[in-house]
Structures are given as C-alpha cells and as structure tokens.
Amino acid sequence: MSEAETIITLENVYKIFGPNPRGRAFDLCSSGVGKDEVQRQTGHVVGMKDISFEVKKGEIFVVMGLSGSGKSTAIRTVNKLHEVTHGRVIVEGTDVQQLRGAALQSFRREKLAMVFQHFALFPHRNIIDNTAYGLKVQGVDKPKRQAAAIEALAMVGLEAYAFNSTRELSGGMQQRVGLARALCSNPDILLMDEAFSALDPLIRRQMQDELMAIQDKVHKTILFITHDLNEALRMGSRICILRDGLVIQIGTPEEILTEPADGYVAEFVQDVDQGRVIDVGKVMHDAVILDPTSTLTQCVDALGDRRGGFVVDADNRPTGMLSLTDAATALAHGTTDLGSVLRSDFDTTTPGARFNENYAAAGRGQPIAVVDESGRLIGELEPREIMEEMGRVEQLVDGFEREVFL
C-alpha cells in the first residue's frame, strides 16, 4: 500500500502570546526553558513549542491534551486564525502563513471548515439557511446551495428538519447542524475543536459514530481536538498528545496505549482498557496442526510449548481442538485415542479482532483458533498470552506512575 498523501504539515511551530513574541520569550523557550519559567521571566505565554506533525489524507488526526496544553492554538494555526511565532504550516502545498486578504479568505472558505464546541446558529434563520450559510457567503445561487444543504443535512440525519426553526433544536441537533454546515461547502479538511465535548455521554457517542460513518463515505481529512482519551481512541487514526505546548507522543491508539512515551501519557491511559486496542494478530502464534491419525501421546509431543492444537479439514478449516489439559486428563485415565478428546466447541477469532472481544473466550481457559475471512486456520491464541500482554502494558504504566510520584 502506498503512503497516503500529506495534507497538513506543521513544521517546528512556535506560538508565543504577548507583546513581543519573537524577543526574549522566544529565545528562552527555544533554548529549553519551560512554559512557566518563560511566563515568570517575560510575562509571555507559550502556546506551542516546536510542534511538528503531519496529517495524512483521509485520516482522523486527533490532538489531545489537558486544558491549556495548546490544542486550540495548534488548530488555529492551520487556518491562520493565529500567526505563528516561528515555523511553517503547509496545507496542501500552500504556506498558510504567507496568505493574506482575499487569498486567505478563499483558502479558508474553500479548503477547510471548522466545527466548534458551541456551535453558534443564527436564531432568525431556519436550519437549511444556517446550513447553507457558507455557500451563500461564497456567492452560490439559492437552488444550488439549498440542494447542497439538504444533502449535508441528510448526512447528519436532519433533512426532515430543514425548514424548521433553530430554536427547536437540542444541543446534539445543533452540533449536527454545525457538522452539516461544515460538510455543505464540501471542503477537503474538517477542523473540529472539541466539537462533541459539550454533549452528554450518550449523544456524544452517537455523534462519534455518526461522524465515523460519514467519514467512511466522504473521506475528508479531519483534524479533531479533544481532551478526552476515550474519544481520541475511538475516533483517531493517529493521536498527538500535547502537554504545555509540547508534543509528548504521536502514535496510533494502540501505540499510545501499549507504548506510552512517558508518565504523562501513562496517567491518561491507566484507566483505559488496553484490550480495546490490542489486535489479536499482534500476539497470535502459529497454530500446531495435528495429524488426526496419530495417537494422543504423539499429539502432546507435537504441541511442544503450546497449550493446544487443531485438526483441520481439506480447506485448512479447523474442525477440532485438542487442549493440553484435556489431553493430560485423558492420558491419566488411560485414554490414548485423539478423537475422543477433540473438542468441536472451541472459540474462534480473527487477526483484526481486539483483545477485549476475546475476554469471554479467554475466560473459558482454552486455546482460541485464529481464522481468516474464509475460516481457514492461520494461528492460535492462548488466554495466558492475552493476560501476559495486558500485564506487560500494565507494568509499563505502573513503572511510569512510580516515576511520577517518587
């Protein structure tokens, strides 16, 4: 698979707030002095320090961090709501900081759309006009922009409300209109700053699901900001974690959870079920395939250090599972016949499945067959391996915790 095209690049971006951002505050900050100390010495606030990341076409790139870590500042450099102090911001080959006047305006209108936490609707306009507002500003004629607005409202499930007043909308519906407005002008890029953070948990999850379903159809490039790790893990293709204006880690949800870069990240991840992001494929082993004509003793030898093996049919589909514990019990009772000890009620999973989908199977204590989409045996996973991998991650996180608190 070829590497996806880069749509947004931040290159060593600094943003310092204050009357003289490029003066001593910048010198201190760039020579490694921390945010609090820079503020103490100069009265300037470090918003972003040497931030670099790339957002690839079609991905949901999540920027996550505590309040004040620089998330909003970072997203605002992308549409030049902020001028950067140092560094470059490139969007689809355009050096955004160089844009001015009409060029900046048309860049903002055509290339990207923004959705905020509190989406402001015009109370005196109905929903379709609110949705089509961006196109109106662009001078698109009424039939065209209304058609686009209906299409966008349909994507968020609100087409039936197109001609209703905005006063009748719940918070969740308002955010939907916000999303529809953003989608309406068909931009390449969506910038979403805590777009779902004000919603209650159930509605919030619905909106996350809906955005992901929409994304599967429209393939936008989405820069998504949240302070919520669970949201980041659900939505993110990759996640960038900020602290005090610094990038602490960039990685896939799995990398963030299983290889946290430091104690700050570990603190975020400690309450999350790592099993949600660890793939079976990462931990599975080759399966031992047993010869159905061999004796039980020969089968036990063939298992080696594995706790189970499989008998397969002509298409390599598993038809029976021998577990080491069953074999040992049978041998102790003098049974030597493989057929009588084989189980047909074994669990199966796929390499793309997550650990947490296999907890129930793991709880039964038996080896699990890993099969491909045609049901062919491609590996085996054992409950102890699920526990070991989870334990490894936990120890890592515990280690960081000690580091943080000592």
Ligand X SMILES: Nc1ncnc2c1ncn2[C@@H]1O[C@H](COP(=O)(O)OP(=O)(O)OP(=O)(O)O)[C@@H](O)[C@H]1O
Summarize as ranges the residues that interact with ligand X (CB under 6 A).
Answer: 17, 45, 47, 65, 67-73, 227
Return the number of other C-beta atoms located less than 10 Å from residue 186's C-beta. 15
Work out what residue 65 binds among Mg ion, ligand X, none; the CB cut-off runs from 5 to 8 Å by kind: ligand X
Work out what residue 178 binds among Mg ion, ligand X, none; the CB cut-off runs from 5 to 8 Å by kind: none
Work out what residue 77 binds among Mg ion, ligand X, none; the CB cut-off runs from 5 to 8 Å by kind: none
77 binds Mg ion (CB under 5 A): no
Least Å distance between CB 187 and ligand X?
22
HEC string for 236-294: CCEEEEEECCEEEEEECHHHHHHCCCCHHHHHHHCCCCHHHCCEHHHHCECCCECCCCC
Residue selected from 39, 69, 72, 249 as contacting Mg ion according to rule CB under 5 A: 72
d(CA 58, CA 220): 5
Of 74 and 211, the one with the shorter C-beta distance to Mg ion is: 74
Closest CA to 166 of 346, 404, 175: 175
Least Å distance between CB 231 and ligand X?
13
Work out what residue 351 binds among ligand X, Mg ion, none; the CB cut-off runs from 5 to 8 Å by kind: none
Are 251 and 218 contacting, i.e. CB atoms less than 8 angstroms apart?
no
Work out what residue 349 binds among Mg ion, ligand X, none; the CB cut-off runs from 5 to 8 Å by kind: none
Distances (CA, A) of 75 to 48, 87, 127, 150: 11, 14, 27, 28
Least Å distance between CB 42 and ligand X?
13
| CA 315 to the chain's CA centroid | 37
Of 67 and 374, the one with the shorter C-beta distance to ligand X is: 67
Give the DSSP per-residue string, 204-227: HHHHHHHHHHHHHHH--EEEEEES
Mask: binding to Mg ion, 28-67, rule CB under 5 A, as x and -?
----------------------------------------
Q: In the complex, which residues of this chain contact Mg ion (CB under 5 A)?
A: 71-72
